[in-house]
Amino acid sequence: MNDAPRYSGSCQCGAVHFDVEVDIAHTKTCNCSRCARLGWIMAFTPAAKFHLKSGERNLSEYKFNREVIRHLFCSTCGIESFARAAMPDGTEMVAVNVRCLDGVDLDGLVPQKVDGRSR
């Protein structure tokens, strides 16, 4: 992920704004109870490649199931533009909601389907 493109992203109201280097050629969708309802299209990047520019005070956190993913959403508009978690080896990662990135052609993506419902 050294040469990943850089994107700007935000929640709907713009209170939460970030820059991220992420490869959106390898996106995922999930059918778990949360992702399916939100319509998430995920792309993952190391935490060091994610920079929250504004809105830290607007973020609310939600954890469910095994409570290992910090789902962060804007307390004003309710949009979850990213989540934080650690990989099994302890590497801090950020899951970015590609729908919240500026300038992305969503119709050009071919996300891999993940069966989160069965986990």
Residue 34 domain-assigned (yes or no): yes
Q: What is the pLDDT of residue 90?
A: 87
Domain at 45, CATH number:
2.170.150.70
Report in angstroms the alpha-carbon separations of 116 from 32, 69, 104.
Answer: 5, 13, 25
Domain assignment present for residue 29? The answer is: yes
Does any domain span residue 14?
A: yes
| Of the candidates 68, 7, 12, the residue with the CA atom closest to the CA atom of residue 43 | 7
Q: Is residue 39 part of a domain?
A: yes
| 119 belongs to a structural domain | no
Flag whether 115 is in a domain.
no
Is residue 31 situated within a structural domain?
A: yes
**Counted domains in the chain:** 1
**15 is in which domain, residue-wise?**
6-104
What pTM was computed for the model?
Answer: 0.87
- Domain presence at residue 109: no
Per-residue pLDDT tens digits for 3-21 = 789 999 999 999 999 999 9
Show the low-confidence residues of the chain (pLDDT under 70).
1-2, 65-68
| Cα separation values, 48 from 77, 92, 93, 105, Å | 26, 8, 8, 25
